[in-house]
A and B are shown apart, each in its own frame.
Chain A
Amino acid sequence: MKNQRKIVKRKLNNTLTENNVKKEEPDNDPTKSIFEEESDSGAEDLLSTEVNNNDESSDEEVNENEDVPVSDTEQDQIVFESDDEENDLSFETDSNDLDENLEKKSENSDTPTTSKDNKCEKVKRNESSKTNINIKNTSDTLQSKKQNVEKSKRRDTKNNTESNINNENNDKIIADQQVDEYEYDSSDEEDIRNTVGNIPMKWYDEYDHIGYNWDGKKIIKPQKGDQLDNFLKRMEDPDFWRTIKDPQTGQDVVLSEADIDLITRIQKRKIPDVTFDEYGPWIEWFTSEVMKTPLRKFPEHKRSFLPSKPEARKISKLVHALKMGWIKSTEELKKEREQKTNEPQFYMLWQSDDQAEEMRRIHKHIPAPKRHLPGHAESYNPPPEYLFDNKELKEWNKLQTTPWKRKLHFIPQKYNSLREVPAYPKYIKERFQRCLDLYLCPRALKMRLTIEPEALVPQLPSPKDLQPFPTTMSMVFKGHADMVRSIAAEPMGQYIASGGDDMNLKIWEIATGRCIKTIPCGGIIRSVAWCPNQSLSLIAVAAEKKVLLINPGVGDHLITDKTNHLLEIIPQSDVIVSERVKTAVQWEQAEGDYWTNGIRIILNHFKIVKQVIWHGKGDYFATVMPDGQNRSVLINQLSKRRSQLPFTRSKGLIQCVLFHPIRPYLFVATQRNVRIYDLIKQEMIKKLLSNSQWISSMAIHPGGDNILVGTYDRKMLWFDLDLSTKPYQTLRLHGTGVRGVAFHKRYPLFASGADDRSLIVSHGMVYNDLLQNALIVPLKRLCNHESYNDFGILDVMFHPIQPWVFSAGADSTIRMYT
């Protein structure tokens, strides 16, 4: 309520000033001049009040402070009166009828009293003052009104300059001037025209109004002229240069002379207040003079007079030490030093020897061994089972000559009471012996290592965490009539091919275990390899002395047809094949029955071919004839139908060869060693020493840096090519010779099969980080094959995609584990 009234009053004041000023003109000269200036334009005056409205509000406070006893009430009074005045004013302006006006005023004199009564209920403390005012009001309302008008006027004048003096309230104004130093600045009072509160005005940027008026209607922003308007205004309006926009109301404000004066003073870096005397006398608020008596005036504490006790204690200690000669005064020390320099120097030649012993006894004291605590046998009244029977007694007596062999060095004896126990006859002797023990037995600290055997075993992860890996047998591929020696999987993983002693190549469907095709090969099949090139449908089969390239006719028809077409064409080449190669191998185009069976090309070798293996790209394949001496390895190129003999000298009985998956390397395993050759540079890179008697098989990790070698002497060797030429790890998992090893292409798995019929699946994780060695964890032993002629598993192979493993057994079955 109060606030609202205030605002209303202020508005009134603003509107009223002009009229009032005009009325007062004859009375008031100094004000007049000012008001004349201001009254040039009513708006300007209005604006000036707006600009300085903060000051105005503080004025009220000044008023309140001026007449302390009537502070609150008077303010209220003013409000009510001004409320009335609004009415008055309207009357005045409309009719200018004084009588009516007077009547109205007399009415008004009543209204404040009634409202006062209400107020008086609210504020009971100011009872007396209120009555006072009531009287005042009733007695001379007109006068008070006049005063009031003048007050409001004064506010305005004060806004502009502080030097105006009102006739009637002269003394008050003087008081005002004295106090206003504190009262003037009340920046927390808001602009009365600011109807939106203390918020950033940019929030209203998008709207065409600023806040709301009393009736809750929007206050529309004043029209903003466009640039042309601005220009015109600039040209026409003489006050344009001093017109600024009030951001809170959007109104144009013409700065008054005083404001401009203020601004210019600030710009000139003068003190903005004109009245401030820069060169006034200096008042020293905080004196620099030193006073003779301190301001603090209480006696010192008693302990400040008494000597400190801990200090005395410390000093007495030092004095004692000096007396005893434990510490020396600087003079004494100086003297000693001089003496030393003068005297000849000696040292103990053997000092360190016995000194060390002394120190050892002090620092590394070894306590004497503890004596055993007496047991039940030592008791004066032992339980009967501790007493010797005849047999025990006889035995005890028998060891008379060798008493240290006795279990007890005394005969337990029973007494009815402690009183009856005689003196112990051996007491002196035993004490003496104990002393001897302590003196004569050298005591030494025994450094004992406490290593649990488990601590020596490396920490391996649990197989459960290393899934997936094959765990159960899921399929048995039955159909071969004799040992299955070799298996190979189709790159897509739909089919496998197998061959063995029954001279037939069989193609199987993995998902169902169905034998799709059987191709007779006319010889014991020792090796089968599916061409890794997916645009060819081709299997290389080593059957006795022949290597057959067979199109199995499974998979994409287009590819099988294309392969057939491709292999029908015999490429012509001018290269003269050397005699050495010619006698080793001849290429032959299959015809007739062979062709219908799917055999496309036959390579006739001069010795039994034990192994055939494809290069990763599927154009080259290598064949191995262990009995071929210096012609035991052949590298054949399918596209040119050409063979090469890479080695001229035999390094030993070659067991198997292997292509590096990425680089042009060839791994050649003789009986004991594995040699790595660079096929492009035609040189040996490395020789891996297996330290075993007979290598059987080899597999390479798809990363190309790790090789697994199986040997007939029951070992599996893991070579890390980055580490050394010796095996990184030797795995002795099988009971008999290892026949086949294999790596999985995608999963970190490897498997090995041996004659003990067991297939062992292991986790072989190779890390990209060169600092971390491969992790090898044996996972599962799968033992489902049956033994046949002491043979167990002959070949091992992983599914190219799934974590499934296949084993070819001597029991003429192939088993799949998933």
Chain B
Amino acid sequence: MATDARGLTTEPAVRVRNLHRSFNSDGGVLNGLDLDIAPGEFVALIGRSGTGKSTLLRALAGLDRDVAGHGRIQVPESVSVVFQDSRLLPWKRVLDNVVFGLRGAGAADRGRKALAEVGLAGRERAWPYQLSGGEQQRASLARSLVREPQLLLADEPFGALDALTRIRMHALLRRLCETHRPAVLLVTHDVDEAIVLADRVILLDAGVVDTDVRVELTNRSRSDAGFAELRSLLLDRLGVAADA
């Protein structure tokens, strides 16, 4: 159980117990995974390919109805997913994509505000194909955040972006999360990205939590000694020798 600022015990936003998932009879992708995420907590999920990162995320998103397995999952009422591709509907203009499925009056205004927040003010009437890759991903972030989710699930959202755009997106995501305070589960294969963004880094191996570390850095710069230490710890656990 996590505790909030007043020292009271709070319900976790996400609680996973004994989660098993397998795609074939040979062996599971997730093998009895336990995980708690506190409200407002930013968790990065790393691990080698095939260790079950995406499987876990899809389980939390409720998108794995055809996958065999068992276990208990508890997630908040309002969950948003950011995919690796922006998944903007090509036949809707950017603003219509952002407010897609939103009900109630003022949806368009909220959408416009969300677009401004991600730096896309003025592009409301553009078609998705007219946006660059980074802009498309920002629009998809706006679409997620306009719903004020209690849990934001992001599956390698910056994986297809170039290095410079990624850096800008890191700052943007960090700022947006500080404003909206959703619990976040970010799947990434990039250890640096995990440390830069997250409050807590979880490393999956063979379908269970292998390492679970809190990022307590005052300065999240790569030159920070703590950063390097954490980085080499995680790379070591991933079986990659960090060069000195």
The answer to whether A binds B is no
Using a CB–CB distance below 8 Å, which chain A residues touch chain B? none
